[in-house]
Homo-oligomer: A and B are copies of this chain.
């Protein structure tokens, strides 16, 4: 997805939110806003937003010296999500279509996002999403492609959300490689978040190497790029990964809840909708 003009106010908002999480020093926060303001002119509209957001979060880290401001928040999100795990399993047991329900559960976990959103309650949002209808639901293509695939590349989004992903990974019943960020960035899942969520019991965890809040391929390590190149079936979670990968001509199925009008408009749905979107230009 390209960077839209509407992303620019959001870049400043994100810088402010991240700065406040990283420090209480108002002078440092003002410096961050000043410097991110000056960065706007270098943000190209042709690149996906996470590519630029990455540089903005670098600036926050550099000025505050806080390399992982969301560490505590991430841990708490995972604990909260783990406490919901029995409820999620129970929901799956009662379901008529276990795979579809597992997909919906995985999307419900995508409410845990401190980048685009801010003010949310994991529990009540989960219940809400589980009652929603999909705005886009390429479920039949998803199933068809999954059946044919020898294995699955599952690109994670946020810490806490990993717990919800476990439910879907269990239902997939194929070998799954679960991809996490290479470095802490906002509340995105890294290796230790995935382990805390118990992903190591159901999948092979692989770092993409990126420190962007989305799988910006240019910033990924060769190991991930090789696996990605050979993958026949890819699940991509969340907005950041959608923004980074939506133009790829690959069998990528995007599972997300839209949290801003820019991404919602790009997909052609409303903000807050839940989406299971298959590839546009791919013969699947």
Residues of chain A whose beta carbon lies under 8 Å from any beta carbon of chain B = 5-6, 8-10, 12-13, 16, 20, 26, 29-30, 33-41, 45
Contact = CB atoms under 8 A, between A and B. Distances in A.
B5 A13 contact: no
A33 B42 CA distance: 11
A33 B41 CA distance: 8
B45 A41 contact: no
**This protein's copies in its complex:** 2
A interface majority secondary structure: helix
Contacts of A8: 12, 16, 33, 37
Contact of A12 (B12, B34, B38, B41): B12
A30 B16 contact: no
A6 B12 contact: no
19 contacts: A5-B16, A5-B20, A5-B26, A5-B33, A6-B16, A8-B12, A8-B33, A9-B10, A9-B16, A12-B12, A12-B40, A30-B45, A34-B40, A34-B41, A37-B39, A37-B40, A37-B41, A38-B38, A38-B41
A9 B12 CA distance: 5
A29 B4 CA distance: 11
| Most central of A9, A12, A45 by chain B CB within 10 Å | A9
Contact of A5 (B30, B37, B41, B45): B30
A39 B39 CA distance: 11
